[in-house]
Amino acid sequence: MAEWVSGKITHVEHWTNALFSIQVDAPIDTFTAGQYAKLALDVHGERVQRAYSYVNAPSDNKLEFYLVNVPEGKLSPRLRQLRVNDEIMVTKQAAGFFVLEEIPDCNTLWMLATGTAIGPYLSILQEGRDLERFNNLVLVHAARFAQDLSYLPLMQQLEQRYNGKLRIQTVVSREESPGSLTGRVPALIEHGLLEAAVGLKID
């Protein structure tokens, strides 16, 4: 049975009509970069909960989650309406095995994400632990439109921080945008376009 703690919203960022991030202050246990928590609100006496990955590094106590609003959903429309100081329930213990210790050693670590799934990678890269065993890091974020690349500024900051070890590449599928590849990731891999843009082989 999950143990829940009460948290407070400390920041809300509305990136687009659908995409938003929330920051939460809550007394959770330490988690591993790449893991997720469950967030919940009481709706008409029912605790409605969903799992969301941490965006922040475990060493950062500003708990951050990147979400997409599903208009017909039970929870995300309500999360989107939250304001600073509103209460939210968070599982005290994180879960999930999307963590670096599950990844074998390799020359280049490719991290591919679409939409809000960029979160775990941002947590891993911001924490910066256990990455010495990879010679190269590649972070690919795919979205429909350039405006959906919410964390591109953070990705660019991380690219500078890693001083040549990390390469970032964005992909948009519904338009052309400077600096981004156009299309869908599987097709870009199949035709060698992703490797060519990054300058590294997927092996």
Sort strands 36-43 and 87-91 into parallel, antiparallel or unpaired: antiparallel
pLDDT at 203: 83
pLDDT at 138: 99
pLDDT at 47: 96
Neighbours of 98 (CB within 10 A): 18
Tell me which residues of the chain have a pLDDT lower than 70.
Answer: none
pLDDT at 168: 98
Across the beta sheet with 108-114, what order do the strands follow? Answer: 108-114, 136-143, 166-172, 180-182
Token code pair at residue 178: 């400077």
Q: Which domains does the chain have, with CATH numbers?
A: 4-91 (2.40.30.10), 100-198 (3.40.50.80)
pLDDT at 19: 99
In the chain the beta strands, taken as DSSP E runs, fall at 4-14, 19-25, 36-43, 46-53, 63-68, 87-91, 108-114, 136-143, 166-172, 180-182
Q: How far apart are CA 137 and CA 167, in angstroms?
A: 6
Is 74:134 a contact under the CB 8 Å cutoff? no
Q: How far apart are CA 95 and CA 34, in angstroms?
A: 9
